[in-house]
Structure 1
């Protein structure tokens, strides 16, 4: 009986909170889900732009370095990261990047929506489970 109660409590709390590490995992996926070498080729980026992207991708080597910056506002990584990408790519190439890799949507919204969706996403053959926070349930 005790075990069952504990499970119910854990499920309950998990359903309501989006843990700091989940934000970090989204951040990591925003880097690992994309083949940056092909982005650089597709968008015909300069060596400088390519280097800036790699520096951006390597900015936080681990959870602790990321968490020091985002501990009080884990949501903010999206704005920071995609603002930087837009600055590096320039508005035209950033738009092409969004259209190709995010179906024209703002990547910030894509990662924001993921955390408000209680669906399984299939990316290639790896399954990504995303848990629902309280939200209004609107889909675009």
Structure 2
């Protein structure tokens, strides 16, 4: 019984883990998945706005520089990055950006959805749930 409970707790823990490097990969994809030159042209951005976006995209050039800032809060990059983008673009252009590149969805939510989709352990969730149901019926 104790082994089973310990296993269930471990599986639950692994089911919710999302490695620090996965957050960084999401951060990198938020930059590389968008053609920023097209954004500049499509939204008719000023040279100052374009330069601010390019500087934002170059802020953390590697994992170590990113990790120094987000080691304790790897989720923080999402809200900070998109708040900064909204500040640079202004509300109207940010909404156009969001609609075109994220289908109207908040980019923070877009990348946050990936956090709980760690496929490495998804198959284990079902086994734990089935086992808990079977275990509960046996003790009534």
TM range (shorter): 0.7 to 0.9
Within 5 A, what are the aligned runs for 1:40-59?
40-59=40-59
**Richer in strand (by share):** 1
2 CA distance for matches of 1:58 and 1:69? 14
Q: How many residues align?
A: 114
Structure 2 residue 123 is the aligned partner of structure 1 residue 96: no
Between structure 1 and structure 2, the one with the greater Rg is 2
- Partner SS state of residue 72, structure 2: coil
Q: Is contact 2:40-2:50 (8 Å) kept?
A: yes
Give ranges in structure 2 of 5+ residues lacking alignment.
1-10, 126-140
Q: Is contact 1:79-1:108 (8 Å) kept?
A: yes
Once the two structures are TM-superposed, the CA of residue 80 in structure 1 deviates from its matched residue by 0.4
Measured on the aligned residues, the alpha-carbon RMSD in Å equals 2.3
Once the two structures are TM-superposed, the CA of residue 130 in structure 1 deviates from its matched residue by 8.4
Question: Could you say which structure has the greater relative contact order, defined with CA pairs below 8 angstroms and 6 or more residues apart?
Answer: 2
Closer, same or farther: CA 75–17 of 1 in aligned 2, 3 Å? same
Once the two structures are TM-superposed, the CA of residue 117 in structure 1 deviates from its matched residue by 3.1
2 CA distance for matches of 1:14 and 1:30? 25
Match of 2:110 in 1: 110
**Richer in helix (by share):** 2
Closer, same or farther: CA 48–74 of 1 in aligned 2, 3 Å? same
Match of 2:26 in 1: 26
TM-score (norm 1): 0.74
Give ranges in structure 1 of 5+ residues lacking alignment.
1-11, 119-128, 135-140
